[in-house]
Each structure stands twice: as structure tokens, then as C-alpha cells.
Structure 1
Amino acid sequence: MPIVLKKLLAWGLVVFLIYFVAFRPDGAAQLVRTIGAGLMAIAQGISDFLTHLMS
């Protein structure tokens, strides 16, 4: 993928995120909560796996 296209996509994502937070703050907060909960579930799963691996 050309560098110009990557930069354009990155800037597009930044603009979209600013727009989303500015005009839909409740939706943005819910999205962050959902992503955080998913990351916590993954971390807990890895932790459980390592705990059972060591016992």
C-alpha cells in the first residue's frame, strides 16, 4: 500500500474519531467501554491460562 494512501487513511480515521467524539459522545464512550471490556476479558483469559499452565 502506498505511503500516501496510508497517510490519507490515517488522517481520515483521526477526523472521523474527532467527529464521533464531538457529535456522539455517548456512543464514543460506549465504544471505549466495550473495547476496554474486551481487552480485559482477553487479559483475564491469558492470565487464567498461565495460572493453569504453572499448576
Structure 2
Amino acid sequence: MAIGFPDTLFTRSDEADTVSIAAALNATRTRRKAPMVKKVLTWLGIAFLIFFIAFNPRSAAAVFESLGGTIADIARGFGTFFTDLVA
């Protein structure tokens, strides 16, 4: 015991730290839920995609054409950047 400090201020190392135990249990529960949430959101996204294509095929085609054009523009930009970088 240090001078001026009562023993009740400090927790002995052999006593359980309930805050740490609760935090560890909560982290374990959160880790278990995360894959399930990801799986559900993935299936919902796939279902929405199928629904969108089935009921609005022209709009879906326009969206995918736009996405393809955007990806192509990005690829061209990177190609130009690396060509200018090397040249």
C-alpha cells in the first residue's frame, strides 16, 4: 500500500473486471451479427437487381450502359495517365 492511498481505490489483479468482460461479450455478439447482416443485404441487393431488370428492362439497360461507359472512361483516364507518366 502506497502512503496516502487507501486500498479501496485500486482493483486487485485477481478480481474480475466486469466492464472489460461486458465489452468482450458485446464485441463477440457484434462479430457474429455482421456476417448475417452482410448476407441479408447481399441477397436483398440481388433480389432488387432481378426485380429491376424484370420490370424495367429498358431502364436497366440504360443504367448498365451508363455504368459501363463510366468504367470505360475511368480506364481510359488511367491509361492516359500511365502513358504520359512513362513517356
TM-score normalised to the size of structure 1? Answer: 0.94
CA apart distance, 1:54: 1.0
Q: How many residues align?
A: 55
Moved over 4 A (4+): none
Unaligned runs of 5+ in 2: 1-32
Q: CA RMSD in A?
A: 1.0
- Structure 1 match to 2:42: 10
Bigger helix fraction? 1
Task: Describe the superposition over 1:3-48 as per-residue Cα deviations: whole angstroms up to 9, x where unpaired.
Answer: 1111110000010000000000011100100000000000000010
The structure whose Rg is larger is: 2
Q: Distance in 2 between matches of 1:19 and 1:5?
A: 21
Q: Structure 1 regions of 5+ residues with no counterpart?
A: none
Match for 2:77 among 45, 49, 55?
A: 45
Relative contact order, higher structure (CA 8 A, sep 6+): 1
Partner AA of 1:23 in structure 2:
F
Other-structure match for 2:53: 21
Find the aligned partners of 2:34 and 2:84 in 1 and give their Cα distance. 45
Q: TM-score, normalised by structure 2?
A: 0.61
State percent identity of aligned pairs.
36
